[in-house]
Structure formats: structure tokens, C-alpha cells
Amino acid sequence: MNTEILILNTWTIGELVITKSCEVSALTGKRIPNSIVYSVDEFEGDNLNCFGTLAEAKKYAREYIKEDVK
């Protein structure tokens, strides 16, 4: 199946970006069920991790920032 990534929303926490995205069919443009992912990335573009919920992504980002400061 040919799919494309559709960015639905973005948030910033400190120097990190959380992106909500999903897969869509390249043929029909319809969203693929259960394909929503929240990814946590550095501004430079390095992907750090992906999650199924925004709450999980925010928690990871906050903990990552705390560790980075130490």
C-alpha cells in the first residue's frame, strides 16, 4: 500500500518539537486507521522517540529536558 505522512499538529517543549502525524493513502487521501503517532524530535531534526498518546510524548520530552540539563 502506498502511503504518505500527514502532519496534523506540532507543539514545542523547550528545545524539543512534538509532532502529531498519521499515514494517509496515497491513492485516496484517506487516513489509515490507528496510524496516529506523536514523535519527539530535537530542533536539528534528530528523532528521539515515538508514542501513541500526546501525554506520553509530553512526559518523555519533559524528562529528556531534565536529563539534558544535568
Model pLDDT for residues 3-57, shown as the tens digit of each residue: 999 999 999 998 899 999 999 999 999 999 999 999 999 887 788 899 999 999 9
pTM, two decimal places:
0.85
C-alpha cell belonging to residue 49:
522517540
Domain that holds residue 31: 3-69
**How many structural domains are present in the chain?**
1
| Residue 69: predicted pLDDT | 60
Check whether 1 has a pLDDT greater than 80.
Answer: no
- How, if at all, do strands 37-42 and 47-51 pair? antiparallel
Q: Identify which has the larger pLDDT, 1 or 29.
A: 29
What element of type H or E holds 56?
helix 54-69
| Residue 70: predicted pLDDT | 57
